[in-house]
Amino acid sequence: MPTRREFVAGAMALGVTGGAFQRALAQGTLPPKSPCGVATTAMGAHLRGLEGVKPPLRPDPVAYLEYCRSLGAGGVQHAVSTNIPQFKKRLEELEMYYEGEARLPTTLDQDTAEFEQSIINAKELGATCVRAVSRPPANTSGRRYDGFTSVEQFKEWEKLSNAIVMKCLPIAERHKIAIALENHKDREADEHAAFLGKVSSEYLGCLIDPGNNMSFMEDATATVTKLAPWAKACSLKDMGVAPYDEGFLLSEVLFGTGLNDQAVIFAIMRKHNPRINPITELITRDPLKVPVLTDNYYRSFPHLRARRDDWMAMVKAKASDLPILSTQTPAARFQAEEDNNRKVFEWGLTHLKAV
């Protein structure tokens, strides 16, 4: 448990909401508004809250929006289902942009009412797209090398998942809100692009995450280049790597300290979609273990074995010290998330001036 001193220190440094936010807004003491917005997943600790430091922000979307702005965010990608009129009013007052999220069904026969309501809510709040993820097999992480034991099993899932997207697409088309389907450690970039390329609809595209497919030993710039023609949204993140006994560690790191140039990556996306927002997703957590030196990793895509040696040579050549959060106190982890997001928004002010 964090000490009282840690609680107090954390509370003094935390972004503000409510009356304190209103005073800072009136006094002009908020940080400059960055071109960069933020994904829900980069704010997990603050959405959950920390006893004695800050209440959870998830139940209060207006407080969450104010908190993001207090750090410098220019927009949010977030699912909002309550207090929609108040959230919309605050969004307009703060002149922030908004992207929604929508949960795809898990089966073809599942009702689409929840999905459609998310689309309706997003449209009411001014979104042009919603982030969506194909749901992984039950009791799996969603990471392909964890959730599938054969090529055939993956192909069966892929066929079903694509059919679910196609079932939901007419809803998106009717409301004129695009589905931004994330490359979510499931489809390879070529597989994702092949599916999107077969569908002729302006209301289906991709949320491009330049870090996710690095777990498939894909170069981030190559992933982005392949998916950019269908770009609707993004999750900008810089990634660091390091070897471990079963493969390599993959971690979100501060922009400019990892392998990928986010300004270059975003420029590739914007070339294809001038309206795309620079949403960031620096998730403050321990590195992901990607076990490419084990046989099980290759069960659903054996052809990736050919990439292993070159990729691991790159990992060893470019290895860096990666952040370990699990050894820190809850208060320190909480503060680290805020510090990381502040620095990402500051990065946006410097590197995305023309956005």
Low-confidence ranges of the chain (pLDDT < 50): 1-13
Tell the burial category of 279 from Cβ atoms under 10 Å away from its Cβ (0-12, 13-18, 19+).
buried
pTM of the model: 0.94
Which SS3 state, helix, strand or coil, does residue 169 take?
helix
The pLDDT, as a whole number, for residue 11 is 37
Max Cα-Cα span within the chain:
61
The pLDDT, as a whole number, for residue 6 is 38
Instruction: Give residue-wise pLDDT tens across range 146-194.
Output: 999 999 999 999 999 999 999 999 999 999 999 999 999 999 999 999 9
Give the integer Cα–Cα distance in Å for 117 and 168.
12
Residue 210's closest CA among 39, 47, 5, 23? 39
Name residue 70's amino acid: S
Q: If residue 124 lies in a helix (H) or strand (E), which one and from where to where?
A: helix 113-124
Which SS3 state, helix, strand or coil, does residue 129 take?
strand
The CATH number of domain 4-239+260-287+327-351 is 3.20.20.150: yes
The pLDDT, as a whole number, for residue 1 is 39
The pLDDT, as a whole number, for residue 18 is 87
Instruction: Give residue-wise pLDDT tens across range 196-226.
Output: 999 989 999 999 999 999 999 999 999 999 9
The residues near 3 (Cβ < 8 Å, ≥ 6 apart) are 329, 331
Give the integer Cα–Cα distance in Å for 140 and 309.
27
Residue 95: both structure tokens together: 């002149």
